[in-house]
Each structure stands twice: as structure tokens, then as C-alpha cells.
A = this chain, B = another copy of it.
Amino acid sequence: MIITLKKGAKPKEIAAVTEKIKTLGYKPHVSKGKDVTIIGMIGEYAEKYKDAFEAMEIVEHISEIQKPYKLASREFKKSNTIIKVSRGVEIGGKKVHIMAGPCAIENKEIMFNTAKIIKDAGATILRGGAFKPRSSPYAFQGLGEKGLKIIEAAGEKLHMPTISEAMSPEQVALLSKYCDIIQIGARNIQNYDLLRAAGKQPKPVLLKRGMATTIKELLLSAEYILSQGNYNVMLCERGIRTFEDSTRFTLDLNAVPVLRKLTHLPIVLDPSHGTGVREYVGTLAKASVAAGADALILEVHPKPEEALSDGPQSLLPEQFCALVKELDAVAKAVGREIL
């Protein structure tokens, strides 16, 4: 951590800072320039005292040198993490996985039909929401546990691992019982009780970046889960909020190489939410695979115009089937594979 003092700092003021550093058990490095004095405070966890120094009147600016997260960092674990899900599915290796299914679990028929279609097309993980975070209190909120039983049965029948979203610690317990991967949604990226609950159970977690979450904050939220003992966390970019309004969100593909550099955790992309528009999903899915995604999560619905949620961004079955073949070609071009 590097502390820059205001111009014209007096010896007494400089001493106040260096004393404080010593009191905290660190060693200060003082560099005096013609106008400006900077003081280095280097050592493990120095960054956690950032606020305390920033609050001093004489301090102009503080630069962090070390990362505020640890277990999630590439420094902590050099090799990519490979998460063993279930039924032989491993995320983070050569194979790029496709998670697909309807946005919300609506009924047994739609779920089983969709599961069959996506499995045949090449998807390996079945998605569907039982608890739906909806902006409006008047919109469909999901089938709850009844829905979880449907997706569990569909996964069982088609021999596919399943993923669904939890919005509270109680739902984490339910999800942990019925599903193979627990999703934490963008709106809950800083719901710390939920993150801790997900960290205290053993099922893999897919953590979605919030609409205005920096990559650093995403990794800090992952750290909440990891610090509870669950190391099986995947990070999912699903679109950030920008000024552009021709798409629902802006899928931030820059995040892929940045995350790849900073963390060992697998990276998942969600082009369905990232664009919000069916006809743009395929293009961004291809770009995501080319960028090195370890998995994609895609919404597919046999009759989008009758879907209870997110119909406009759901792919039609035939679109999905054609897309997976295209994605496989792109995957192979970058040394990965889907089919």
C-alpha cells in the first residue's frame, strides 16, 4: 500500500503517518520528492488498513499494491481449478460445457421436452429457475420446491447435472438437496448472508457478476464463499449496465482475459441475459467461446411467446441445436471442444 501525502506535508505530519504504520506492526518506507512525500507500507494485509489512512487529513491518495482477495487469486493457486460437478461433468478443463434450459421451471412437460432437446443437441447441464428474482412484485415468482422436484426428475431421467438459483440461505439448503450446482444471481452478488450460506455447503456454486459490480468486487464476493470452505466456485459474466440501450445489458467480454489473469476459478458466460435479445444471443455465444469461456449458460424455450419469464431472450429449440454445432467449431478453433 502506497500513501501519498498532500503537498507541503510537515515533518510532524509525516511522522504521524509513519508512527501509525509502526503501531500496526509494519515498516514504513519514506520517499521525499521536491514537492511530494510518499510512504510505502508493504506487507501482508496492509490493504485492510486503507480506510484508516485515507481518513487522515494529510493523506492525498492511497494506491493498493496487493489484492484484497486471497483464496480466489491466481497467486494463491497457479493452475486453473477444475470443478467436478456430478455424473462425470467437470468444468474448467478442455471441454466447454453448455448449460441450457428454460428461464423458469413452468411445468413437467416443458422441462422434460426441453431437457431432451438440449441433451440431444449437446448440452451437458440442465438449467431452470424455481425461485425467480423479478423486479416487479406482481410478476411470476417461480414454482418453488415443486419446481426443484421437476428439474431433479428431469436431470435424473436424462442423466444430466442440474443448476438452479437460490435467493436466500433457506433456498441454498433446498437447492443443495435437489440440484447439482447452486446459482447465485446478479442481484445477490453482495448478499453476504447468502454467499456465506453457499460457502458452508459442498455443492458447486455459479456466482453471477452484478450489473454494476467491478471485477475486483466479483472476486471479493467469491472470496466470501471460498473463505467458508467451499472452493468450487465458477464466476459468470452476464452483462453490465452501461449507457447503451439497444441491448438489455452489455456483455463484458473484456472480463474473460482479466479474470483469467487474476483468478484460477472457471469462467462462465451468459449471452442470454448479456444481450436480452434472442437474435443476438448466438453471436455473443460464439464470441464467448472464442474468448475462452469454460461454459455457457443459455436460455431455451420451446414456445418463448408463452414463457412466464424472459421469453424475448430464449432461443427456439432449432436455433439452439444449430448454434451448438457452430459453437463446437469455434471451440475447436481455440483448442477446446463441446461435442
In the assembly, what is the distance between CA of A280 and CA of B261, in Å? 9
Known interface pairs A38-B42, A69-B136. Does A330 touch B290 (Cβ–Cβ under 8 Å)? yes
| Residues from chain B with Cβ under 8 Å of A254 in the complex | 244, 246-247, 250-251, 274-275, 280, 284
A45, B138: Cα distance in complex, Å:
9
Contact check, A212 vs B214: say whether CB atoms are below 8 A apart: no
Q: Considering only CB atoms, which chain B residue lies closest to A7 in the complex?
A: B75
Say which size band chain A's interface belongs to: 35 or more
A89: min CB distance to chain B, Å = 24
Q: Do residues B31 and A42 form an inter-chain contact, with CB atoms below 8 A?
A: yes
Q: Is A287 an interface residue (CB 8 A)?
A: yes
Residues of A within 8 A of B (CB): 2, 4, 7, 20, 29, 31, 33-36, 38, 40, 42-45, 48, 51-56, 61, 63, 65-66, 68-69, 75, 133-139, 167-169, 187-193, 210-212, 214-217, 220-221, 223-224, 227, 240-247, 250-258, 260-261, 274-275, 278-280, 283-284, 286-292, 304-307, 309-312, 314, 326, 329-330, 332-334
Q: Name the 8 nearest CB pairs between A and B, nearest first.
A: A55-B311, A33-B42, A212-B212, A290-B290, A187-B190, A333-B333, A29-B31, A287-B287
